[in-house]
Amino acid sequence: MPETKPVLMQGNVACAEGAINAGVRFYAGYPITPSTEVAERMAARLPDLGGVFIQMEDEIASMAAVIGASIGGMRTLTATSGPGFSLKQENLGYAIMAEIPCVVVNVQRMGPSTGAPTAPAQGDVMQARWGTHGDHPIIAFSPASVYEAYYLTVAAVNLSQKIRQPIVMLLDEVIGHMREKVLIPETGRLMVEKSSDKVPADWKPYDDKGVTPLVPFGFGHYYHVTGLFHDQYGFPTTDPPQVARSLDRIHEKLDKYRDEIVLTNYIGHKEPRVAIVTYGCTVRSARAVVKKAYWQNRKEVGLLSLQTIWPFPEQEIKALAKQADVILVPEMNMGQIVGEIERHVRGEAEVVPVNRYDGEMITPDEISEAVGRWLS
Amino acid sequence: MAIIEQLTQDFLRTKKLPHIWCPGCGNGIVTAALVRAIERAEYDQRDVVIVSGIGCSSRAAGYLNFNTLHTTHGRALAFATGLKMARPELKLFVIMGDGDCSAIGGNHFIHAARRNIDLTAIVVNNHIYGMTGGQHSPLTPEGKKATTAPGGTVEREFDLINLARGAGASFGAKGTAAQPRQLEQLITRGSQHKGFSLIEALSPCPIAYGRRNKLGGPVDMLRDMKEKSISVERASKLGEEELAGKTITGVIFDLEAPEYSEEYYRSISKEK
Ligand code: SF4
């Protein structure tokens, strides 16, 4: 990848710029702290690119407008924070069911409710998984740096388009508001495949055989889009085998493209006794710990950071549990991903939560202390 | 007759019929008026998009042979706004029910009107939530009974046309299922108007509304609708007293106002 310009950029802005580089030309949103800079950057940039920026009347409408524009063939993005993410859930479920691509950025603030709008937290992990009703698949990426915010957004936009699945970018306030260096290629370099109206004659919008490209409205393919269970052409059905098939197909595509979806990164000792698993800004504190413990002192410590938190990287966790005696799980919440880890570790290793929920980041010292306790 | 059959072939998904509506429901009449209106305006089938919300009337989208988008409850106009901005050349018809549009979708309704975005909103007003079995909506006339207002609702109803006008819409018309030719003409005119066009179509729901309010069968309800309706032209010559209890039908307002998608694209081409 030709990385050309080094720039100092804020995490929220990196989401906006990454999206633009991956071809997003439509943004609908509603102001909310701490995500507003995404909207502001889009409002400044999209008009010059011939794109659409629209500030909608509310969060629900923003999500709806994004889906509408995607059906029109545009690449789309919206951004919000906790309360707004709650409001977006119904239409997010619609996009999953109707298989309409779009990317939803949630810059987490501390909740529940209005909570602490400017305090960092990672309390929306389970909401990202189960916020909308019904048995749905979800993809959520969680960047740990501004660089990752940029490139995971690029990946989200392209992947969302490819498999026709909405993708959540789960940032936290620290990553959203932090400024860091990013190397970015020229605008437009990172877009994979444009949507096209040229499709085979037997094209079906919801083909039983697997994902087909979305053919935008207005090109003479008169299919139906609905949130109801539907057949291969999108028409409502209550026929039990078709209903089950409809649900299976939206889950199967995540299995099929798992290698492109599930992104993790491991650093540290090859055979760690103590492994740290975390995501988002907490990765930064954990990395500092591993640097000191492993790189300087050759301790048997490692860090698995999860860029993808949903679908859950269960294979990676299972493999880690075979080596490590202890898995430490620092999170800025009361313990959310830790339950998922326990579920997959199945007692093969000790799973220990390290939580903080006072609106402050978990420090390297806090993690280091826990590591020390288990190493000795 | 031949033309109608041709229309049925082209614009209706005949394989999806029979429809789910109850016998005597007005939804079929309104849908037929919409199909004829599209034909009358001679739009290219490829350019027409039907967007709908949730409710009995919104199921019409599934029976119409265009690109059709059946959305979530109350949100049809918000989906339509995104689609129209992405593809301003498309002709959007947005079908909503009275509860769908004016209760849960009320915010989107006033803001779509305020933006004066170019689309035709057809609100099928049967004064009730039909699909869920007859609960009162913001368009249930005061005093009428519903499952959630067994003694008659004490809520006041919206004047949807004036609400749209006050919010900034540039075209508002009212028709009834009892006068399908007029309704068809109103939909055509609304669709040819540039800006947010509201067509409120009164439609009988004999099952969830008529029965409980002892309004007779479908024929009685249609007859009553017809008798009570009076054209804008005739109404303009009558005083307030004479108009009491009447439904004024026809084009209620037709104004010129800046249209959102056009203004937006003009503004960004200037910026370039
Ligand atoms: S419940 Fe009323 S509106 Fe719904 S299909 Fe039956 S008659 Fe029509």
Average pLDDT over residues A3-27: 93
Cis peptide before B18 (omega within 30 of 0): yes
Q: Are residues A115 and A93 in the same domain?
A: yes
List, for residues A29-39, the tens digit of each pLDDT value.
999 999 999 99
Q: Does the pLDDT value for residue A1 go beyond 60?
A: no
DSSP-derived pairing of the beta strands A75-80 and B119-125: unpaired
The predicted pLDDT at position B4 comes to 60
B81, B267, B271 ranked by CB distance to A68: nearest: B81
**Percentage of the residues of chain A whose pLDDT score is greater than 70:** 99
Beta bridge partners of A77: A27, A103
Distance CA A29, CA A26 (A): 10
Which residues does chain A have within 8 Å of residue B47's beta carbon, measured at their own beta carbons? 218
Distance CA A152, CA A86 (A): 22
Last residue in a domain, options A261, A278, A300: A261
- Residue A82 tokens read as 């906790």
> Which residue in this structure is represented by tokens 């080596």?
A323
- Residue in B71, B260, B263 to test binding to A, most A beta-carbons within 10 Å: B71
The predicted pLDDT at position B5 comes to 64
Contact assignment for A65 to B82 by CB distance below 8 Å: yes
DSSP-derived pairing of the beta strands A264-268 and A301-306: antiparallel
Q: Are residues A255 and A272 in the same domain?
A: no
- For chain A, say whether B44 makes contact (Cβ under 8 Å): no
List, for residues A183-231, the tens digit of each pLDDT value.
988 777 788 877 777 888 899 999 998 999 999 999 999 999 999 999 9
- Residue in A75, A224, A232 to test binding to B, most B beta-carbons within 10 Å: A224
ipTM: 0.96
Nearest-atom number in ligand 1 for the CA of B97 is: 3
CATH code of the domain containing B222: 3.40.50.970
More confident residue, A197 or A304: A304
Last residue in a domain, options A241, A261, A281: A261
Cα angle A24, A28, A30 (rounded to 5 degrees) comes to: 140
The predicted pLDDT at position A187 comes to 73
Mean pLDDT rounded to a whole number for chain A = 95
- The reply to whether ligand 1 has any atom less than 6 angstroms from the CB of B208 is yes
- Residue B21, domain extent: 2-271
Q: Are residues A100 and A215 in the same domain?
A: yes
DSSP-derived pairing of the beta strands A52-55 and A103-108: unpaired
Residue A100, number of CB atoms within 10 A of its CB:
24
CATH code of the domain containing A216: 3.40.50.970
Distance CA A262, CA B134 (A): 47
Q: Of all helices (H) and strands (E), which one includes residue B115?
A: helix B106-115
Distance CA A92, CA A84 (A): 12
Handedness of CA B142, B143, B147, B148 (dihedral sign): positive
Q: Are residues A164 and A284 in the same domain?
A: no
Q: Are residues A213 and A322 in the same domain?
A: no
- Residue A307, domain extent: 267-375
Q: Are residues A274 and A227 in the same domain?
A: no
Which residue of chain A has the CA closest to B106? A57
Indicate left, alpha or beta for A120 from its phi (over 0: left) and psi (-120 to 50: alpha).
beta
Q: Total structural domains in chain B?
A: 1
Q: Total structural domains in chain A?
A: 2
Q: Are residues A225 and A168 in the same domain?
A: yes
Q: Are residues A139 and A207 in the same domain?
A: yes
- Residue B32 tokens read as 């037929």
Cis peptide before A34 (omega within 30 of 0): yes
CATH code of the domain containing A300: 3.40.50.920
Cα dihedral B104→B109→B110→B111 (10° resolution): 110
B67, B78, B80 ranked by CB distance to A60: nearest: B78
Sheet holding B229-231, edge to edge: A224-226, B67-70, B48-52, B91-97, B119-125, B196-202, B171-176, B247-254, B229-231
Q: Does the pLDDT value for residue A90 go beyond 80?
A: yes
| Residues contacting B162, CB < 8 A, separation 6+ | none
The predicted pLDDT at position A5 comes to 78
B82, B89, B272 ranked by CB distance to A48: nearest: B272
Average pLDDT over residues A152-181: 97
Name the stretches of chain B with pLDDT < 70.
1-8, 271-272
